[in-house]
Amino acid sequence: MGFVLIGVLLIVLRLGGWVQFHKDDFWAWVIVLSPFALAVLWWAWADSSGRTQRKAMQVLDERKAARREQQMEALGQLKPGAKKKR
């Protein structure tokens, strides 16, 4: 996501005329568009290495643990000194 934001910023700066990256127009656009190529490489690596799936599973496990903890507190079983109602 960071590479995409940097790329958008460079495009805005280039099209706005605020920054001249290079005299040659071709190389200027190569510099401007390079963060998008890096983003594609990053996403390809993240998907092929399984990082994306691990992060998604971690988020689901955290939600599951939070939901279980909330249910246990609602039942009153997590409070060590709590007395049961009769």
Confirm if 34 and 6 have CB atoms less than 8 A apart.
no
pLDDT in tens, 32-84: 899 999 999 999 998 889 888 888 899 999 999 999 999 888 887 655 665 65
Q: List, for residues 29-40, the tens digit of each pLDDT value.
A: 888 899 999 999
**Alpha-carbon gap, residue 14 to 73, rounded angstroms:** 56
